[in-house]
Homo-oligomer: A and B are copies of this chain.
Amino acid sequence: MNKIILASASPRRREILEKAGVNFTVIPASGEEKISTSHPEQAVQQLSSGKARSVARSLDDSIHDVLVIGADTVVSYAGRILGKPRDEEDAVNTLESLQGNTHQVYTGVTVMERKDGAFREHTFYEVTDVTFYPVSHEEILEYVKTKEPVDKAGSYAIQGLFGIYVKEIRGDYNNVVGLPVSRLFYEMKKLGIKLRG
């Protein structure tokens, strides 16, 4: 059985992995990663890879049989990547553009697998379509006042108070929350790697 490390400070990713029955340790990646692309599927994979590599490099050589999992999530609408909001006005504008429409949530996942001293990298991404009901300006202002958008890509949390405006999704729900855990299990299974007992 491998030692599993989640290279993310996100409490939401932690909760998803815990609920899936995985035993792991958290070592958040430090430093801001830079992206050199405007394509969301490439961006999230660059970012997840950067996080997982940075934590993998920092590990003591004595730790064998380890998996380091990095992930990064962005929201994309009409060809533009929407990150975390700069301020309340930015959050309001973002939500005004998303309401009544369908946007995409991309999460990149990288697993750095150390075996016999060397690391192997496995990276993939998952995309989910999210469609909102129409949401009024007053409802958006009310939501932004709760401060929930502050640290959320796309300025909302599907598992939070804005979840009541989500009409439907197409794809993996956990991918929207921040970690496509089913796909992660599926990819690891193909490689013969077990994530739980």
Tell me the A residues contacting B by CB distance below 8 Å.
Answer: 19-21, 128, 133, 158-161, 163-174, 181-183, 185-186
Contact = CB atoms under 8 A, between A and B. Distances in A.
Contact of A182 (B19, B165, B170, B181): B165
A126 to B, nearest CB: 9
A183 B21 CA distance: 31
A168 B21 CA distance: 20
Given A19-B159, A20-B161, A21-B161, A172 B181 contact: no
8 contacts: A19-B159, A19-B160, A21-B161, A163-B174, A164-B182, A167-B172, A167-B186, A168-B170
Contacts of A159: 19
Nearest to A185: B164
Oligomer: number of copies: 2
Contacts of A167: 172, 182-183, 186
A20 to B, nearest CB: 5
A172 B168 contact: yes
A18 to B, nearest CB: 11
Contact of A171 (B21, B160, B168, B172): B168
A72 to B, nearest CB: 20
A128 B169 CA distance: 10
A166 B168 CA distance: 16
A173 B166 CA distance: 9
A181 B168 contact: no
A132 to B, nearest CB: 9
